A and B are shown apart, each in its own frame.
Chain A
């Protein structure tokens, strides 16, 4: 079991009772409160996944810890990285397939609301992120697709950007300011601390 999993199950105290499968009867609602990964039908509590029944005697709560620790569905608190596919004045849409530094395959869609971009006031998304930028963000809500994201921490924000005019990778000049090495255009972004400085220009990338 990896560390992430341990963190997640922290605070869920109790004794591992047994391994259960979907549909296994755990008890009746008079006995426990149905916790994680349980469902109730006709006053009876059942497991809805394959995992370990953990009964918290103090809180009279039954939780199931997933048997397979490699579930990939992103959760609140996960750090994701992806590309901005569109921006509006009040929000940016990103498609991300990197979750906690792991490539999860097909991308999910997330939205960064303008109020969640930075600790400082940002009036217009355009002044902080633009279409084609690669950003790192944190998930703050997963109730519905698209997920809600925030970039208001130091290591979150834009990690790579291209010049809006000529498409060159932009070079970080100072905090939240980028410059195009080709045309000299200066652009503002909400940058992550570890913005990836371009190592070569796209114009000569293929001259090996």
Chain B
């Protein structure tokens, strides 16, 4: 794609920056306002847990599959959690199928960090036979429509899918190592709800939840994931621009205010499955 970004940055950037100077955005949102969030809980019956999230024009589906396998040798007393992302070509004319590229891997790893570091899933409770058999959770996020900010849409989808997941109970025969899958289902042990907030920096101005047009002209991107205690469990700067200490302060302040409503939404959505958290 020779110089495509240059063409858009020359034409669209003019327009977007001229609005930002006056504190306005191309879709009339406030600088620190999320787009509308719609979530469908458990649309995929064959996955143990699933969620479809529509964030403005961005649409993602996350599915959780849970298996039984050996733990990692360095964490014999913890279950295994893996996040994976697929930027499917149906989501954008610029996505191509093939092995995951940089963008895909970064997305998967940032979502993974948010869930792992917030201890959203209590991995120690996933051990069946210490050092030998643990539950293995795969979280796969499929992007179906790309209108910017895949990070936050994917983080919400992954969190809801994990919280809504029902896995078969198992019976462990400690002597033989035989694991019997029972008909009864149980919830995954969830101990936190991470919420990420992604900002674009365009000509020195920070905006929350960038849409595709904003993302295309951003100089830098900041994603901060917070725990329900308000701590920072993941942070990621992206893009070739720079960020300042003041930018970090702004992000922290905005997240304090904006992450909680999203967390409340996630709680509300999963209340039926899990009860109050």
Residue ranges of A at the interface with B (Cβ–Cβ < 8 Å) = 81-83, 85, 95-98, 101, 103, 105-107, 132, 134, 159-160, 196, 206, 208
B10/A208 in contact, CB under 8 A = no
B12/A107 in contact, CB under 8 A = no
B11/A105 in contact, CB under 8 A = no
Q: Which residue of A lies closest to B13 (CB)?
A: A196
B94/A196 in contact, CB under 8 A = no
B2/A85 in contact, CB under 8 A = yes
Is B238 engaged at the interface, CB distance under 8 Å to the other chain?
no
A134/B242 in contact, CB under 8 A = no
Residue ranges of B at the interface with A (Cβ–Cβ < 8 Å) = 1-4, 6-8, 10-12, 14, 92-94, 204, 213, 216, 240-242, 244
* 9 further A-B pairs in the complex, CB-CB below 8 A; given A85-B3, A107-B4: A83-B7, A98-B7, A105-B92, A132-B3, A134-B7, A159-B11, A196-B10, A206-B241, A208-B242
For the complex, give the distance between the alpha carbons of A36 and B204 in Å: 50
With a cutoff of 8 Å between Cβ atoms, the chain B residues found around residue A81 in the complex are 7, 11
Known interface pairs A83-B3, A106-B1, A196-B14. Does A208 touch B204 (Cβ–Cβ under 8 Å)?
Answer: yes
Give the tally of cross-chain contacts (CB within 8 A): 53
B222 to chain A, nearest CB (A): 13
A208/B3 in contact, CB under 8 A = no
B151 to chain A, nearest CB (A): 22
Known interface pairs A98-B8, A160-B10. Does A106 touch B94 (Cβ–Cβ under 8 Å)?
Answer: yes
With a cutoff of 8 Å between Cβ atoms, the chain B residues found around residue A159 in the complex are 10-11
A54 to chain B, nearest CB (A): 31
With a cutoff of 8 Å between Cβ atoms, the chain B residues found around residue A107 in the complex are 1-2, 4
For the complex, give the distance between the alpha carbons of A98 and B242 in Å: 28
For the complex, give the distance between the alpha carbons of A103 and B216 in Å: 11
With a cutoff of 8 Å between Cβ atoms, the chain B residues found around residue A95 in the complex are 1-4
Q: Which residue of A lies closest to B201 (CB)?
A: A208
B160 to chain A, nearest CB (A): 30
With a cutoff of 8 Å between Cβ atoms, the chain A residues found around residue B11 in the complex are 81, 98, 101, 134, 159
For the complex, give the distance between the alpha carbons of A82 and B4 in Å: 8
Known interface pairs A82-B7, A83-B3, A95-B2. Does A103 touch B12 (Cβ–Cβ under 8 Å)?
Answer: yes
A131 to chain B, nearest CB (A): 10
A97/B7 in contact, CB under 8 A = yes
Q: List 8 A-B contacts (CB under 8 A).
A: A81-B11, A82-B7, A83-B2, A95-B3, A96-B7, A97-B8, A98-B7, A105-B94
With a cutoff of 8 Å between Cβ atoms, the chain A residues found around residue B241 in the complex are 206, 208
B10/A134 in contact, CB under 8 A = yes
For the complex, give the distance between the alpha carbons of A160 and B10 in Å: 8
With a cutoff of 8 Å between Cβ atoms, the chain A residues found around residue B4 in the complex are 83, 95, 97, 107
With a cutoff of 8 Å between Cβ atoms, the chain B residues found around residue A132 in the complex are 3
A106/B93 in contact, CB under 8 A = yes
B181 to chain A, nearest CB (A): 46
Interface centre among B3, B12, B213 (most CB of A within 10 A): B3
With a cutoff of 8 Å between Cβ atoms, the chain B residues found around residue A206 in the complex are 240-242
What are the nearest 6 A-B pairs in CB distance?
A: A105-B93, A83-B3, A106-B93, A160-B10, A83-B7, A208-B242
With a cutoff of 8 Å between Cβ atoms, the chain A residues found around residue B204 in the complex are 208
For the complex, give the distance between the alpha carbons of A83 and B2 in Å: 8
With a cutoff of 8 Å between Cβ atoms, the chain B residues found around residue A160 in the complex are 10
A83/B6 in contact, CB under 8 A = yes
With a cutoff of 8 Å between Cβ atoms, the chain A residues found around residue B6 in the complex are 83, 134
A208/B244 in contact, CB under 8 A = yes
For the complex, give the distance between the alpha carbons of A85 and B7 in Å: 12
Interface centre among A85, A132, A206, A208 (most CB of B within 10 A): A208
For the complex, give the distance between the alpha carbons of A105 and B92 in Å: 8
For the complex, give the distance between the alpha carbons of A30 and B54 in Å: 51
With a cutoff of 8 Å between Cβ atoms, the chain A residues found around residue B244 in the complex are 208
A38 to chain B, nearest CB (A): 29
For the complex, give the distance between the alpha carbons of A62 and B1 in Å: 40
B251 to chain A, nearest CB (A): 15
For the complex, give the distance between the alpha carbons of A134 and B13 in Å: 14
With a cutoff of 8 Å between Cβ atoms, the chain A residues found around residue B240 in the complex are 206
A161 to chain B, nearest CB (A): 10
With a cutoff of 8 Å between Cβ atoms, the chain B residues found around residue A208 in the complex are 204, 241-242, 244
For the complex, give the distance between the alpha carbons of A81 and B7 in Å: 7
With a cutoff of 8 Å between Cβ atoms, the chain A residues found around residue B92 in the complex are 105
With a cutoff of 8 Å between Cβ atoms, the chain B residues found around residue A134 in the complex are 3, 6-7, 10-11
